[in-house]
Amino acid sequence: MTYKFQLSKWQLFAWSTGLLLSTPLFFLLFESLQGNSEVFSHLWNTVLWDYISNTVLLILGVCVLSCAIALPLGWLTAYCSFPGKKQFEWALMLPLAMPTYIIAYVYTDLLDYAGPVQNTLRDWFGWQSPDDYWFFDIRTLPGAIVMLALVLYPYLYLIFKTALREQSFKLVQASQLMGLSSWQSFFRVSLVLSRGAIVAALALISMETMADFATVSYFAVSTLTTAVYDTWFGYYSLTAAAKISGVMLLLLFLALMAERFSRRNQAVFERQSGINSEALYILKGKSAWLATLFCSVILIVAFVIPIAVLIKYAIVYFDQAWSSEFFSYAWQSLKVAIVVSVVTLLLSILVVFYQRIAKQSYPLLPGRLASTGYALPGTVLAIAVLLPLTLLENTVNSVLDPYDLDIGLLLTGSVFTIIFAYVVRFYAVAHGAIESSFLRISPSLDMASQSMGKSQGHTLRLVHLPLLRRGLLTAALLVFIECMKELPTALLLRPFNFESLATHVFQYVSDEQLELASISALFIVLVGFIPLYFINRSMEQRS
Amino acid sequence: MKKVFAIVVGLAVSAPVFATETVNIYSFRQPFLIKPILDDFTKQTGIKTNVVFANKGLIERVKREGKHSKADLVLTSNFSALIQLEDLDLTQTISSEAINNNVPAAFRDGDGQWVALTKRVRNVYSSKERVGALPELTYEDLADPKYKGQICTRSGKHPYNLGLVASMIAHHGEADTKAWLEGVKANLARKPQGNDRAQVKAVKEGLCDLAFGNSYYLGKMLQDETQKEWAEAVNINFPNQINRGSHINVSGAVITKYAKNPENALKLLEYMTDNKAQNMYASINMEYPVKPGVELSNLVASWGSFKEDSLPLDEISKYRPLALRLIDEVKFDL
């Protein structure tokens, strides 16, 4: 009896979360059914296919490049020993704290025709005009792919490394014993065992890429996201914009199906087993230097150069850029990021746990529903959030009207809305990270716990949570940093007198004057260091 | 768990407390631009201003918030946003003799639903070195094959370019404008990208010889030490002086339908259309004041006087959706 009652409690919670977090999306889809579809069919006949192909190419490109960067990095730092490894392990996560629009801006400045790189080349070789030589154009689709991959690869790096750490290292040792070289072991053991985690991370990267607006619009690459904006603010058609969002969701659905498909036969359960430092692949000679070189190049390109440029701006423009209000902006950002991290973490732990114990059909659906908000571009999500919340407020107000009571904009006029929107947007991040960690815990532990008379709640608290520690930290870190960087949602939903670091930076970036926002941009990155420090410390404490 | 919940709820509902005398503004215009004006208004009147700045989605927000919206005033950076607010029935009549005296009828809505605050001209920059000044240039000329590979512009879908294309439709009709757009696209030196500043830079660097741009960008660049040399590399041309005059866009404001502080909003608009604020607009942002007789900044004045296209803004605005369709049809941005 108790069993049934508890199960329905988990079920109720998971489904409520799934439905609550997908409510904005349903409202948006409902909106897409309103009115006529004249604008949509016009777009369909003119530019929509270009947008779709650009979007697909962008996502594929970012995923491939992220794999090329993150998989070797993850494996090297988890299982190998080479000069500088300890520092790289931590530092390679840093690009995560960098908003894409900043890195895009910095590299455009450096690499475009008027930038120092091409200027120097012209000086050296005596070229006079653009016709005298060929230089790649950064403001293109390939340019956008590189920028996004440089910022997004840490998702894969982090989740893949967590997966390697949680895998039984005995398997790698066994592969060593059986004579596999380090590369063979990477391809034939680690990669195969981490497939679930890799695909989960790629799903996150795909969604983040699809939702990106700042970089693609800055690079004049028309994607579905830019189409949503054009349609809404150009044609003034929320209906057509919602229809395009529908197309995006279809792509998202395909991505999620691919993820499920890739895990179809996967049932690899391991307990954490400490990585014995003596058993690490000790790289020597050329391979050690190659490993160090690879890590250095990625770190320099993805982090050191952009930060150096920001620091230079901050010094040169200090008088115009400094404001004592940065501390209050940082505090506002920090507050929201902490609350959202805690809430998404709690929700996703419980939903993923439900997936694990559910005996009913469709146990994965609540989590999938709750994750859909991630693929929506920020501004679209902001309006999607406003649709149900304002309806709720207006309904409550009209009910209270006869009693002379007025709650006004209790929700949409306060920080609540930003928090809700962020939870909707970033739930998927926490869910992906926690789900892939959960999958590696053997069900035999649950059975053991159950046979000892422990309830499911106890099992979760006493057995699962300690084993999930790294996964939880990864999830919290990713959500926290995403919140620090998130821009369009905050811009549109903020109450009066609310300023975050990101909104402050944007005021200047929107006018292509990042120089004047360099200090706040540095603050965003600095605040991102805090959770990175903690997660790294936890990773180092090998159990 | 309870503690976490308490913190979440506490943070969520901690809405700011407003003083009694306030005016709440949703602004498409950047804070660093309007802040000096708002600060001076508060100093003069004691009325506090609260601003939400965003460059997208504010109209939808006002619409969704309905009669509970806290916004009293919406400041926009182009005329189509003003007219959209009016079309969505989100505005109320601005009835003030002072404003009527300050702003000529051409820059106010016939029904008093919106008022323009500044004028911005759609100019064409030309390279001093390679092209020189083009006093007789027209927008129509830019489709001439002789300019092949010479023109730079930001996205065709940006409100400033849309306004221009809409005015072309108003003057020449749909078919001719489409042909014109195709001609301009064929003359582009590169895919539309960046903002108006980036176009001036591209002219300086020799990527193109001609570029579309609003005049105030040039003024702002001349004030910036690092960008000065880009701006000094171009001439500013006022197109169509030989016939109808240059295309004018405006920034402006509406008082929202459900404004809680309409009197204060009106006071702010009266202040914004009067000499001091108009002068600040001119000197800080290098825009053209709407109030006749207000002195231009020296720099703006140095560009000389020019003829404005006299077609009313709501007439041009009617063609804006069509302008966007044409831009998509010719795949101007792709």
Tell me: the pLDDT tens digits for A284-300?
Answer: 888 889 999 999 999 99
Query: A415 CB near a chain B CB, below 8 Å?
Result: yes
Amino acid making up residue A325: E
Name the pLDDT band for B131 (thresholds 50, 70, 90). Answer: very high
Query: A379 CB near a chain B CB, below 8 Å?
Result: yes
Name the pLDDT band for A127 (thresholds 50, 70, 90). Answer: confident
Residue B195: pLDDT above 60? yes
**Angle ∠(A190,A468,A164) on CA atoms, nearest 5:** 15
Structure tokens at B164: 């221009």
Closest CA to A69 of A195, A176, A168, A161: A161
Q: How far is B175 from chain A (nearest CA, A)?
A: 17
DSSP for A114-152, please give it.
TSHHHHHHHHHHT--SGGG-----SSSHHHHHHHHHHHH
Residue B249: pLDDT above 50? yes
Beta carbons of B80 and B159 less than 8 angstroms apart? yes
Q: Where are the domains of chain A?
A: 7-35+314-542, 48-265+275-302
Q: In this structure, how many other beta carbons lie within 10 angstroms of the beta carbon of residue B265?
A: 25
Closest CA to B14 of A259, A411, A392: A411
pLDDT tens digit sequence for B199-229 = 998 999 888 999 999 988 888 888 888 788 8
Q: What is the mean pLDDT of residues B313-329?
A: 90
Residue that wins the pLDDT comparison between B239 and A487? B239
**Residue B19 has what pLDDT?**
45
Beta carbons of A85 and A248 less than 8 angstroms apart? no
**Residue B334 has what pLDDT?**
84
Q: What is the mean pLDDT of residues B34-45?
A: 93
Is B58 buried (19+), middle (13-18) or exposed (0-12) by CB count in 10 A? buried
Name the pLDDT band for A165 (thresholds 50, 70, 90). Answer: confident
Name the pLDDT band for B12 (thresholds 50, 70, 90). Answer: very low
pTM as predicted: 0.84
Closest Cβ–Cβ partner in A335, A492, A511 for B61: A492
pLDDT tens digit sequence for A326-366 = 888 888 888 999 999 999 999 999 999 888 887 777 788 88
- Average pLDDT of the residues of chain A: 84
Closest CA to B213 of B225, B200, B203: B200
**Residue A461 has what pLDDT?**
82
Give the chain A residue whose CA is nearest to the CA of B225: A317
**Residue B3 has what pLDDT?**
55
Show which of residues 102-141 on chain A sit within 8 Å of chain B, judged by CB atoms.
Answer: 113-114, 129-130, 139
Close Cβ partners of A324 (under 8 Å, ≥ 6 residues apart): none
Q: Using a CB-CB distance cutoff of 8 angstroms, which residues of chain B are in contact with residue A406?
A: 68
DSSP for A453-503, please give it.
T--HHHIIIIIIHHHTHHHHHHHHHHHHHHHHH--HHHHHHPPTT---HHH
Q: Where are the domains of chain B?
A: 22-119+249-302, 121-247+312-330
Closest CA to A118 of A106, A131, A130: A130
Give, rounded to a whole angstrom, the gap between the first and last alpha carbons of chain B. Answer: 52
Name the pLDDT band for A267 (thresholds 50, 70, 90). Answer: low
Beta carbons of B308 and B245 less than 8 angstroms apart? yes
**B22-119+249-302 and B121-247+312-330 agree in CATH topology:** yes
Mutation site for A-interface testing, chosen from B5, B64, B129, B284 by largest number of A Cβ within 10 Å: B64
Q: What is the mean pLDDT of residues A255-263?
A: 70
Q: Using a CB-CB distance cutoff of 8 angstroms, which residues of chain A are in contact with residue B148?
A: none
Q: How far is A279 from chain B (nearest CA, A)?
A: 42
Q: Using a CB-CB distance cutoff of 8 angstroms, which residues of chain B are in contact with residue A130?
A: 206-207
SS3 B289: strand
Name the pLDDT band for A66 (thresholds 50, 70, 90). Answer: very high
Give the chain B residue whose CA is nearest to the CA of A382: B57
Q: Using a CB-CB distance cutoff of 8 angstroms, which residues of chain A are in contact with residue B333?
A: 220, 222
Mutation site for A-interface testing, chosen from B13, B38, B56, B82 by largest number of A Cβ within 10 Å: B56
Cα separation, B162 vs B323, whole angstroms:
6
Q: What is the mean pLDDT of residues A193-211?
A: 85
Can you give the length of chain B in residues?
334
**Residue A433 has what pLDDT?**
83
Query: A387 CB near a chain B CB, below 8 Å?
Result: yes
A129–B206 CB contact, under 8 Å: yes
Residue B24: pLDDT above 70? yes
Close Cβ partners of A250 (under 8 Å, ≥ 6 residues apart): none
Mutation site for A-interface testing, chosen from B30, B35, B50, B65 by largest number of A Cβ within 10 Å: B65
Residue B95: pLDDT above 90? yes
B13–A511 CB contact, under 8 Å: no
Range list of H helices, chain B: 2-12, 31-45, 58-65, 79-87, 97-102, 159-172, 174-187, 196-204, 215-223, 228-231, 262-272, 275-285, 298-302, 313-317, 320-329
A394–B60 CB contact, under 8 Å: no
Helix A141-166 crosses helix A469-485 at what angle (to 10 degrees)? Answer: 160
A379–B57 CB contact, under 8 Å: yes
Residue A377: pLDDT above 80? no
Helix, strand, coil in percent for chain B, rounding step 5? 45, 15, 35
**Residue A541 has what pLDDT?**
64
Beta carbons of A336 and A418 less than 8 angstroms apart? yes
Q: How far is B217 from chain A (nearest CA, A)?
A: 10
Amino acid making up residue A29: L
Residue A543: pLDDT above 60? no
A335–B56 CB contact, under 8 Å: no
Residue that wins the pLDDT comparison between B20 and B186? B186
Amino acid making up residue B213: G
Structure tokens at B47: 């009325």
Mutation site for B-interface testing, chosen from A129, A228, A328, A511 by largest number of B Cβ within 10 Å: A511
Q: Which CATH class name applies to B121-247+312-330? A: alpha beta
**A7-35+314-542 and A48-265+275-302 agree in CATH topology:** yes
pLDDT tens digit sequence for A502-523 = 888 877 777 777 788 888 888 8
**Angle ∠(B197,B199,B202) on CA atoms, nearest 5:** 115
CA distance to A80, A91, A176, A187, A292, per residue, from A284 (Å): 10, 22, 16, 20, 11
Q: Using a CB-CB distance cutoff of 8 angstroms, which residues of chain A are in contact with residue B64?
A: 383, 386-387, 390, 412
Q: In this structure, how many other beta carbons lie within 10 angstroms of the beta carbon of residue B39?
A: 11
Amino acid making up residue A127: W
Query: A393 CB near a chain B CB, below 8 Å?
Result: yes
Rg (CA), chain A: 24
**Residue A269 has what pLDDT?**
57
Closest Cβ–Cβ partner in B8, B195, B321 for A339: B8
Beta carbons of B154 and B212 less than 8 angstroms apart? yes
Q: Using a CB-CB distance cutoff of 8 angstroms, which residues of chain A are in contact with residue B16?
A: 495-498
- Could you tell me if the ipTM is greater than 0.85? no
Tell me which DSSP letter residue A500 carries.
-
Residue B89: pLDDT above 90? yes
Bridge partners of residue B237, in order along the sequence: B124
Name the pLDDT band for A181 (thresholds 50, 70, 90). Answer: confident
Residue B96: pLDDT above 70? yes
- Average pLDDT of the residues of chain B: 89
Closest CA to B246 of B83, B124, B104: B124
Structure tokens at A372: 């859909």
Residue B190: pLDDT above 80? yes
**Residue A323 has what pLDDT?**
78
**Residue B160 known to bind ligand:** no
Closest CA to A208 of A471, A482, A481, A527: A482
A414–B14 CB contact, under 8 Å: yes
Name the pLDDT band for A276 (thresholds 50, 70, 90). Answer: low
Q: Using a CB-CB distance cutoff of 8 angstroms, which residues of chain A are in contact with residue B50?
A: 496-497
Tell me which DSSP letter residue B287 carries.
P
Name the pLDDT band for A1 (thresholds 50, 70, 90). Answer: very low
Name the pLDDT band for B313 (thresholds 50, 70, 90). Answer: confident
Closest CA to A190 of A176, A177, A171: A171
Give, rounded to a whole angstrom, the gap between the first and last alpha carbons of chain A. Answer: 38
Q: In this structure, how many other beta carbons lie within 10 angstroms of the beta carbon of residue A237?
A: 22
**Angle ∠(A294,A297,A300) on CA atoms, nearest 5:** 145
Cα separation, A151 vs B108, whole angstroms:
47
pLDDT tens digit sequence for A303-313 = 999 999 999 98
Please provide the CATH number assigned to the domain covering A7-35+314-542. Answer: 1.10.3720.10
Q: Using a CB-CB distance cutoff of 8 angstroms, which residues of chain A are in contact with residue B60?
A: 232, 238, 383, 386
Q: Using a CB-CB distance cutoff of 8 angstroms, which residues of chain B are in contact with residue A46?
A: 328-329, 331
Name the pLDDT band for A449 (thresholds 50, 70, 90). Answer: confident
pLDDT tens digit sequence for A239-250 = 888 888 888 878
Q: What is the sign of the dihedral through the CA atoms of A490, A496, A502 and A505?
A: positive
Q: Using a CB-CB distance cutoff of 8 angstroms, which residues of chain A are in contact with residue B219?
A: none
B32–A507 CB contact, under 8 Å: yes
Q: How far is B274 from chain A (nearest CA, A)?
A: 26
Tell me which DSSP letter residue A36 carries.
-
Amino acid making up residue A381: L
pLDDT tens digit sequence for B144-170 = 999 999 999 999 988 899 999 999 999
Give the chain A residue whose CA is nearest to the CA of B80: A234
Closest Cβ–Cβ partner in A230, A382, A511 for B30: A511
Name the pLDDT band for A265 (thresholds 50, 70, 90). Answer: low
Residue B178: pLDDT above 80? yes
**Residue B322 has what pLDDT?**
92
Close Cβ partners of B206 (under 8 Å, ≥ 6 residues apart): A129, A130, B127, B130
Closest CA to A84 of A274, A297, A245, A363: A297
B51–A496 CB contact, under 8 Å: yes
Give the chain A residue whose CA is nearest to the CA of B13: A414
Amino acid making up residue A473: L
**Residue B248: which H helix or E strand, with range?**
strand B248-256
Show which of residues 199-258 on chain A sit within 8 Å of chain B, judged by CB atoms.
Answer: 219-220, 222, 229-230, 232-236, 238
Span A48-265+275-302 CATH architecture = Orthogonal Bundle (1.10)
DSSP for B143-193, please give it.
GSGGGTT-EE-S-TTSHHHHHHHHHHHHHH-HHHHHHHHHHHHHHBSS-S-
Tell me which DSSP letter residue A372 carries.
G
B16–A510 CB contact, under 8 Å: no
A336–B24 CB contact, under 8 Å: no
* Beta pairing class for B48-53 and B210-214: unpaired
pLDDT tens digit sequence for B250-304 = 999 999 999 999 999 999 999 999 999 999 988 888 899 999 999 888 888 999 8
CB–CB contacts below 8 A, A to B: 143
| Topology (CATH level 3) of domain B22-119+249-302 | D-Maltodextrin-Binding Protein; domain 2 (3.40.190)
Q: Using a CB-CB distance cutoff of 8 angstroms, which residues of chain B are in contact with residue A114?
A: 201-202, 204-205
Number of helices (H), then strands (E), belonging to chain B: the values are 15, 10
Q: How far is B167 from chain A (nearest CA, A)?
A: 16
Show which of residues 455-494 on chain A sit within 8 Å of chain B, judged by CB atoms.
Answer: 488, 491-492, 494
Which of B33-42, B164-173, B181-190 is least confident? B33-42
Q: Using a CB-CB distance cutoff of 8 angstroms, which residues of chain A are in contact with residue B53?
A: 491, 503, 507
Q: What is the mean pLDDT of residues B4-9?
A: 50
Q: What is the mean pLDDT of residues B90-104?
A: 95
Mutation site for A-interface testing, chosen from B55, B79, B165 by largest number of A Cβ within 10 Å: B55
Q: Using a CB-CB distance cutoff of 8 angstroms, which residues of chain B are in contact with residue A419?
A: 8, 11-12
**Residue B288 known to bind ligand:** no
